[in-house]
Each structure stands twice: as structure tokens, then as C-alpha cells.
Amino acid sequence: MATEATLAIFLCTTPALLYLTAALRQHSRGKRWSRWRSGSFCFGMLLILYAIFPSHAAHGAHGFTAHMNQHLLIGMLAPTFLVMGAPVSLLLRSLPQAQGKICVRLLHTRLLRIWCHPMTAFGLNFGGMFLLYLTPLYRLSLEHPALHHFIHLHFLLAGYLFAWSLVGPDPTPVRLRMRTRLAILLLAMASHGIFSKQMYIHAFPYDTPHSVDDIRTAAQRMYYGGDFAEVLLAILLFHQYFRRTRRHPASHRALALAN
Amino acid sequence: MTLREHSVIPGIFLGIGIMAAVDEIIFHQLLAWHHFYDKATPTIGLLSDGLLHAMELLLLVGGFFLLLEQRRLKLTNSALTWGGFFVGAGGFQLFDGLINHKVLRLHQIRYNVDVMPYDIAWNTGASILVLIGIWILLRRKRRGY
């Protein structure tokens, strides 16, 4: 228990400390780095720490509602805050020019282009959810802690990719038009709502030690929690759209036409 | 003038969004009288419910942002926005009442009761909202502001 707690703290504070060091170095070089970005990244890490902290994680093995809280925090809410911290931009700024160029080239490789497409991220998220809740995978994850951790890591990465490709301030290999991004967000919101209602009705995952009541509470948590996280994404998306057109009044019309 | 500079647009967005939210919260969730689509299996009803809900949230967020942006650019015209709001709210309700309920017969307002008085109340209410919106818009035009 104590070692697990230490490990959780180590896993979450290391990225945060690295991030803060890089941000402070920007300041000492006389370049600006927004405090909001730093705050957002650290808050995202804090959310993950809260979700994986052993006292909650152990609870997760007993209750499905607790598992759903973890899932929402790790897969939806925390990634949005991490993305808004713009860690890739900070990395590119902190690296020497040569390594920075390698990073940029890496960002434009075909593999990453496909991987960072919001539809891929959407597929990873919902494909993952189908596999987890509609196959015996969830039950297996209760028996095998390694699988449990791997699943959370998967949802963290998939959630990060989704938020990055939709609303990320960081450079992305693919930048889609506002209209396309709105459509994908709409699809994700609708899918989440429908999936959680199906979970409520059919009380899946089956063959688990959880009671039907527990699963229903979790499904409702998923419905409303998912809404909350997705409205947050919508707010960020519109915010960026208007700020971008405001900064370049000349491209205002072009953007309006493009969208 | 582009669409995003026109004050009637955020009004329409917010009107549709808020009416859809009211419909969903009162009739779908609190009273549980109907879903967006009841005639086929409940699964399909839930699919369209999910889409309606997602659409409504995006219209609400987008409408508020558009309104704020127009305020910042000093393009707001509250009569236009209010007119758009009523037309949007009533228009959505009327579309729901006539096209969804009666033409496509996707669902009815309530089941196992005589639905006629409900239909009349629903569509009259919707028409009144649209008329209020049109009246606001026309009054604005007549007074020339």
C-alpha cells in the first residue's frame, strides 16, 4: 500500500516537476510562459493522482461506480487539462534547435498523422469502451492488476489524443476545419450518452461482482460526467475558434468561408 | 454582413437549444412521457435522444459564444437577438409538434391518453412563440433600428 502510494505520487509529480522546470527556464530566459498553462497541466496531473491513489484504486476493485469515477477522471477530464497545458509547445521551445527539428519531423510522419486524427482518437476511445464493457475484458481486469493499469493508460492516451486533436493549443499533424471538429465532437457526445443509457438499461458489463444498482449509478455518472467533460471541450473549441479569428481580422472572412 | 455578425443567429441558436433542453428535461426526464423517437425499438429512440441532446448542448455553447463575440465587436442588437430567440424556440417546438409528431409520426406527446388536446396545446403554444418573435422583428424594422 505504502509503496503503491509512493509510486502513484512519483508517476504524477515527475511530469509535473519536469514541466514546471521547463516553464521556469523559459521565464529565466526572458520568454513568457502562461501561468494558466502551467496551472492547467499540474491540475491535470493532480486529477490523475487523485484517481489512481491506492485508497481510491483499491475501492475501485469493489465498486463499479468508483471504477467509473476513475474512468471519467483519467480518460476524459484529466487529458483536457493536460492538453491545455500545451506540453508539446513547451518541449519544442525548451529543446535545442536540432532536436526541436527532429520533433517537428516526427510530428509530421504519416503514422502520427493518422494516429493524431480525431477520428482515430474517437475510435480508440469508443472501441476501447466496447471491448472493456461488452466483453469479459472488464472482469479480467478485476483479476489482473496489470491489465487494469494498462486499460487506464489506454484511456488516458486515447483521451489525450482526442482532446489534443480537437482543442489542443499544441501543434498537431492534422488541423481540421471547425465544422469537421464540431461534427466529431457531436458524434462523441451522442455516442457517450447513448452508450451510458444502454449500460443503464442492460446493466452491462455482465458476470461481475457488481450489483445492478451499482452499475446503474455508474451509468448515470457516466452520462452526466461525460456531458460535463464534453461541454468543457465544446467551450474550449468555440473559445479558440473566436480567438483565432479575432487575432487575424484579415483572415476573418476566409475562415468564415472555410468553415 | 456575414452570418456570424448577424444578431439574429445567436438568438435562434439559443432559442432552439433552450427549447430542446426544456423539452428534454421536462417531458423526457421529469414526466417521462415520450422520447424523441418511440415508434421503433427503444434503442432507436435512445439513439435519436442522444443526438438531440448533443446537438442542443452544442447550440447552447455556440450560441452563447456568438452572443459574447458580437457584444465584444459592439454588433449586438437585442431586438434582433430576442426576435431570433422566440422564432428559434417556437420554430423548434412547431417542427417537433408538426413534422416529428404528425407527419413522420416519430413519437407522440403522451401515450394511452387522448392526444388531441395535448397536440393542440403544444402547437398553439409553439405558434404563439413564433408570432411573438416575428412581432419583435417586424416592430424593429418599422421603427428602423
In sequence order, what DSSP letters do the residues of A131-157 get, joined into one string?
HHHHSTHHHHHHH-HHHHHHHHHHHHH
Q: How far apart are CA A232 and CA A234, in angstroms?
A: 5
Choose among B136, B33, B28: nearest CA to B88. B136
Q: How far apart are CA A19 and CA A81, in angstroms?
A: 13
- Residue A108 grid coordinates: 509530421
The per-residue pLDDT for range A28-83, each reduced to its tens digit, is 988 889 999 999 999 999 999 999 887 765 554 568 998 999 999 999 999 999 99
Choose among B138, B20, B26: nearest CA to B90. B20
pLDDT of res. B51: 86
Contacts of A235 in chain B (CB under 8 A): 61, 65
Choose among B12, B78, B4: nearest CA to A246. B4
pLDDT of res. A164: 93
Residue boundaries of the structural domains of chain B: 3-143
The per-residue pLDDT for range B24-62, each reduced to its tens digit, is 778 777 776 665 445 544 566 677 778 888 998 999 999
**Residue B14 · residue B60 · CB < 8 Å:** yes
Residue boundaries of the structural domains of chain A: 2-249
pLDDT of res. A259: 45
Distance of CA A113 to the CA centre of its chain: 18
CB contact under 8 A, B50 and A185: no
pLDDT of res. B20: 87
The per-residue pLDDT for range A100-147, each reduced to its tens digit, is 888 888 888 888 888 888 899 999 999 999 999 999 999 999 888 899
The mean per-residue pLDDT over the stretch A142-167 comes to 92
Distance from CA of B38 to the nearest CA of A (A): 15
Contacts of B3 in chain A (CB under 8 A): 256
Q: Does A204 touch chain B (CB under 8 A)?
A: no
List the single residue in A with minimal CA-CA distance to B4: A256
Distance from CA of A55 to the nearest CA of B (A): 35
The per-residue pLDDT for range B85-133, each reduced to its tens digit, is 999 999 998 988 887 766 666 666 777 777 788 888 888 999 999 999 9
Cis omega (within 30 of 0) for bond into A205: yes
Q: Does residue A257 register a pLDDT over 70?
A: no
Specify the amino acid at residue A210: H
Cβ neighbour number for residue A169 with a 10 Å cutoff: 17
The per-residue pLDDT for range A179-216, each reduced to its tens digit, is 999 999 999 999 998 898 888 888 889 888 888 889 98
Distance from CA of B56 to the nearest CA of A (A): 10
pLDDT of res. B144: 62
Q: How far apart are CA A245 and CA A171, in angstroms?
A: 17
Pure H helices in chain A: 2-28, 35-52, 54-60, 64-72, 78-84, 87-94, 97-107, 110-115, 118-134, 137-143, 145-167, 178-202, 212-247, 252-258
Name every residue whose Cβ is closer than 8 Å to that of residue B84 and which is 6 or more positions away in sequence: B7, B8, B9, B10, B11, B12, B15, B133, B137
Distances, alpha carbon A168 to alpha carbons A200, A233, B108, in Å? 32, 10, 43
Global pTM reads: 0.86
Q: Does residue A250 register a pLDDT over 70?
A: no
User: Which run of H or E residues covers position B22?
Assistant: helix B8-22
Exposure of A187 in the CB half-sphere (CA atoms within 13 A):
16
The per-residue pLDDT for range A22-33, each reduced to its tens digit, is 999 999 988 889
Closest Cβ opposite residue B50 in set A190, A235, A238? A190
